[in-house]
Amino acid sequence: MKGVLLVNLGSPDSTSTKDVKKYLGEFLMDERVIDVPYFLRWILVKGIILNFRPKKSAKAYKKIWWDEGSPLIVLSERLQEKIQHKEDIPVALAMRYGNPSIKTGLQELKDKGVTDVLIVPLYPQFAMATTETILVLAEELREKHFPEMRFTDIPAFYHKEEYIKVLANSIKDYLADKEWDKIMFSYHGVPERHIRKSDVTKSHCNPSDQNFICCKTKSEAHQFCYKHQCYETTRQVVEYLDLKPEQYFTTFQSRLGNDPWLQPYTDKTIEKFAENGVENLAVVTPAFVSDCLETLEEIAMEGGEEFVEAGGKNFYAIPCLNDNNDWVDVMVSWIDEWKNK
């Protein structure tokens, strides 16, 4: 029997400092998030970061928390429910970090008689710290607890026509009655070293190249290059919306530590735009399909405040696809394509 496992990032169980600390510990101790030797990672995370970060993050989560719970969890559940309503095979939901865990999701499918699982990482672009860590953990769990199961996964869909169309139309619809000067495509940041590590050619990717020569030059490295995939998503959406070069810009948000991360940085660019006379700025976050701390607090709240303080007038945080009905239909079409093979 076939079944589907949707997997998103995850969230703390509550906004308490204790729950946030537990969540951050699991997240940051992942070797594909902070990719240094275990001993150094342990010192950095448990000896330093977890001594101050949970309290700060808990305050941020409290600003965006809903009555129903974590926005990311609630929105992911709504997506799962809508997909399940249109599917005749079991559709389960799991989180890479926190609850419900991937093991819990797989057990739910097993209990329903599922042996053939389609794993759907809810990330449009491939990255070590997103898609890769989900698939690696899922395989480890399969070998240890679910040897009778067989896995298939949906690869990065950053360039799929149906995804681009839904994303572009969601931007267009949201901005239909608003006055805007620029659209910023803000993607989650990753360290430049992650790009190099994911380069299957070991020579093609140059993450610090602001001319994007490597991203524009055809290569097998693009299959796993987060930077290329982000810029390709922007390119195709811009083409669909027929935007002019001066109407859009691509940036990267959410950096940690002192190592170089993908640039240009979102926060610095937001301030720069306002200082240079951009009055109306819209920001879309295509690395996320569900609104979460990074979109609701970091962009919509902090980004909006920074923009206005620097001289801007109107700041628009475009919602993620969440449980958009057209997005649900796209997901169902991909599941059906696999199911009917």
Query: Would you list the DSSP string of 308-337?
Result: HHTT--EEEE----TT-HHHHHHHHHHHHH
CB within 8 Å of 25: residues ≥ 6 apart? 45, 46, 50
Angle between helices 53-64 and 17-28 (to 10 degrees): 110
What predicted TM-score, i.e. pTM, was given to this entire model? Answer: 0.94
Intervals of the chain under pLDDT 50: none
Q: Report the DSSP beta bridge partners of residue 251.
A: 186
Output the CATH code of domain 2-156+324-339.
3.40.50.1400
Q: Report the DSSP beta bridge partners of residue 316.
A: 282
CA separation for the pair 157, 125 (Å, rounded) = 7
pLDDT of residue 194: 86
pLDDT digits (tens, 9 = 90+) for 39-56: 999 999 999 999 999 999
pLDDT digits (tens, 9 = 90+) for 131-169: 999 999 999 999 999 999 999 999 999 999 999 999 999
pLDDT of residue 223: 86
72 three-state secondary structure: helix
Q: Report the DSSP beta bridge partners of residue 187.
A: 252
Output the CATH code of domain 161-317.
3.40.50.1400
Q: Are 105 and 138 in contact (CB under 8 A)?
A: no
> Could you tell me the CA-to-CA distances from 192 to 113, 156, 168, 204, 290 in Å, in that order?
43, 19, 28, 13, 25
* Number of neighbouring beta carbons within 10 Å of residue 213: 9
CA separation for the pair 268, 276 (Å, rounded) = 12
Q: Are 204 and 99 in contact (CB under 8 A)?
A: no
Q: Report the DSSP beta bridge partners of residue 281.
A: 182, 315
Q: Where do you find CATH 3.40.50.1400 in the chain?
A: 2-156+324-339, 161-317
pLDDT of residue 197: 81
CB within 8 Å of 195: residues ≥ 6 apart? 205, 207, 225, 226, 227, 262
